[in-house]
Structure 1
Amino acid sequence: MQQFFIKVFIITALSTVGLVIVVLIRKPIDLSVRQITTQKDTLFSVSDTGKVYVKPDTAQVTLAVIKEGKKVTDVQKDLNTVNNAVLKALKDQGIEEKYIKTVNYSIYPNYRYEQSSGRSIIDGYRAESRLEVKIKDFDKLNKVIDSATTAGANEVGTVNFTVDERDQFVAEARSQAIRKAKTKAEAISKETGVMLGKIVDVQVAEGEGGTQPPVPLYGGYGGVADVKSSTEISTGENAITVSVTLIYEIQ
């Protein structure tokens, strides 16, 4: 009887130990954060910039029609009449409709302070319509703006010269940046002994800037300069830049 009790105790104990072992083996193994950090430490990045100089192909100018009056209906009517006249003048100068865009149309009240009541009261209305116009033929720039102001546009913004057809120049600048970045990476690798692996990521950013600042041709609301007396416009060149960052694995 005593021997039977000992055998049962031993079997039970072994079964319990086995259960503990199974539980320990089946418990999920947590991933170590250090492994991720180590992986990041094996990356190497290098950056460079490509730049291409291009003569602008588009002049961009903002024209505005501004009207004021006591009645909102009268102000809106006057604005629409003059705005339509300006649009017609632009089209008569050969500006295609796709190069004319209304960027703002607004009507809002003017206020004045009334001393007796201590309040601001409505004292008429102001209406504005702003057109963004693209001009491809620079020789017609002054004539186009002259026609618009003659038709009633009473505010002309600065003229910005941009590159509209820029895809091929962006691609050229990007290729230049990649070549320079790879050359730089190879030089660093050679000088430091760091063995570079494959490129695992590429980051690209592009921009455009002119060597010629925007040209202010005319005054604001209340006065427009004489177009015929304006000086000759020099468009300069625009620099299209692309910055590239190459990220390598380190072997």
Structure 2
Amino acid sequence: MVQTKVKQTNMPIIIICAITAAVLITAILTAILLPPKELKVSLAGYGSTESGIPASHGLSVNASGSYYTNPDLAKIQIGVETKNPDLRKAQTESNQIMESIMQTLKDAGIEEKNMQTANYSISPHTPYDSSEIDYYRVNNKLHLRIYELAKIEEILNRAVEAGANQIGSIEFTLEDYEQAREQSYELAMNAAQKRAAFLANGMDVELGDLLAITGSHTNYRPFYFSGYANQALASEPGMESGYSESISAGQIEVNTQIDLLYAIVNKL
């Protein structure tokens, strides 16, 4: 009777051990015999995708495209600086000269909407060895938008003749660069596709689907002409009223950089 009770007591333990062993054997056989699950592609800068392509089977390329075009707009600041011990006289002189400049610009074809006051400042000047103000300096600057680029030299010379004695550097730019951006994007895309095909051929593999287009951004570089910069053209003794240096508008560069991620489907 005692032996029978012992066998009945150990029976559940034997059954549990047998079940555990069976589960372990099944898991091992499953891991060996069944194919691995599909992997997500995860490359630096691209994140993950449910493409089912192993990470080692992806090809990423980077390329850029630059599109050059002629500018259609020039931005420039012109101004007048006056000095006088009497502040009111300095202001009056500055205002009168600026009114003359603006009228001259209108006569040259610049619409009033393309003229905007950029800066108006008053600065007292005190000698280093005295606490008394010896004169006041009044600066009045005007921001211009010029669309007739062929007339820039004429316009600036007429402004100088009207009393302008400060002319900043000229920025040649585009009124709307969206079309140029699209052109540069197309150039970058073509370059990236050619680079991917070249690399795939060198690696003896075949390109699959295009999985991602990332990192696309456009740099827009206006052209600056500084021949007029910081020229006190009309106020310095001995200087002619006008400026004869030839102005060239050059070209605008619109550059786009792009990253493409391709799947590699099989060997050639």
TM-score normalized by the length of structure 2: 0.64
Residue 241 (structure 1) aligns with: 254
Q: Please state if 1:162 is matched with 2:177.
A: no
Distance 1:190 1:157 in 2: 53
Distance 1:172 1:249 in 2: 23
Which of 118, 122, 128 is residue 107 of structure 1 equivalent to?
Answer: 122
Other structure's SS at 1:113 match: coil
Alignment of 1:61-100 (within 5 A): 61-100=76-115
Distance 1:98 1:49 in 2: 38
Residue 185 (structure 2) aligns with: 174
Other structure's SS at 2:225 match: coil
Instruction: Kindly indicate whether the alpha-carbon contact (under 8 Å) linking 1:51 and 1:239 is maintained by their aligned counterparts in 2.
Output: no
Alpha-carbon distance, 1:45 to partner: 4.1
Higher relative contact order (CA closer than 8 Å, sequence separation 6+): 1
Residue 11 (structure 1) aligns with: none
Deviations 1:113-158 (A, max 9, x none): 226xxxx553322111122222222343233222212222112233
Aligned length: 206
Residue 244 (structure 2) aligns with: 230
Which of 36, 42, 46 is residue 39 of structure 1 equivalent to?
Answer: 42
Is the alpha carbon distance of 1:82 and 1:51 closer, same or farther for their aligned partners in structure 2, counting shifts above 3 Å? same
Is the alpha carbon distance of 1:140 and 1:198 closer, same or farther for their aligned partners in structure 2, counting shifts above 3 Å? same
Instruction: Kindly indicate whether the alpha-carbon contact (under 8 Å) linking 2:192 and 2:260 is maintained by their aligned counterparts in 1.
Output: no
Amino acid at match of 1:105: Y
Other structure's SS at 1:95 match: coil
Amino acid at match of 1:85: S
Instruction: Kindly indicate whether the alpha-carbon contact (under 8 Å) linking 1:89 and 1:147 is maintained by their aligned counterparts in 2.
Output: yes
Amino acid at match of 1:166: Y
Give % identity: 24
Deviations 1:187-208 (A, max 9, x none): 2234334866500523212222
* Max Rg structure: 2
Distance 2:211 2:71 in 1: 38
- Kindly report the root-mean-square deviation, in angstroms, between the aligned alpha carbons of the 2 structures: 3.0
> Is there any run of 5+ residues in structure 2 with no aligned partner, and where?
1-40, 45-54
Deviations 1:138-189 (A, max 9, x none): 3432332222122221122333433334321221111111221122123223
